[in-house]
Amino acid sequence: MVDLDYANLRFHPMREADLDQVMLIEQYSFPTPWKRSMYEHDLKSNKHSRFYVVRDIAGELVAYIGSWFIYDEAHVGTIATKQEYRGQRLAEQLLAYTALQAQNETMAYIILEVRATNNEAIRLYNRLGFEQVGLRKGYYTDTGEDALLMTCRELASLSARLLIAEGE
């Protein structure tokens, strides 16, 4: 594990040039990773997409989040951290940053799905103020696993956890 100094990390909008690094993290993080073309579409053509990365002082991409801001909701579709940076609250920081951006765009809440067996992520979401509001039976087509539908309406409280600054 790498020791992080939040002062040396920055948020940036995801760019197509980031996709090689994103895809490496994606492959490690998920049983059924998103295809590169899905990211490319959202970055080029989807006016609702809000994809952000965290880079260290050397410019290395260490984590990312992808969401869509539609009507009054910020729907998180993906979030992942590079293996050696896990356990250092980067997912919390990504969600806090997304909450801040959602507030700036007058979204009312954040919503996401999480695998019903992903206890680590569920604990994180609960700690950050997310509540389960539904169950999507058989949501994950790779395993047939259910997804918990979780929301956070306390965007100000979540964004107050932010420790990382925006990049230049």
Q: Give residue 168's pLDDT band: very low, low, confident or very high (50, 70, 90).
A: low
Which of 113, 120, 154, 168 is labelled catalytic?
Answer: 113
Q: Which CATH class is domain 6-166?
A: alpha beta
Q: How far apart are CA 26 and CA 53, in angstroms?
A: 13
Does 113 qualify as catalytic in the annotation?
yes
Q: How far apart are CA 107 and CA 99, in angstroms?
A: 9
Which of 92, 109, 125, 168 is labelled catalytic?
Answer: 125
Given a cut of 70, is residue 104 above it in pLDDT? yes
Token digits for 162?
């932010």
Does 125 qualify as catalytic in the annotation?
yes
Query: For 63-101, what is each residue's pLDDT tens digit?
Result: 999 999 999 999 999 999 999 999 999 999 999 999 999
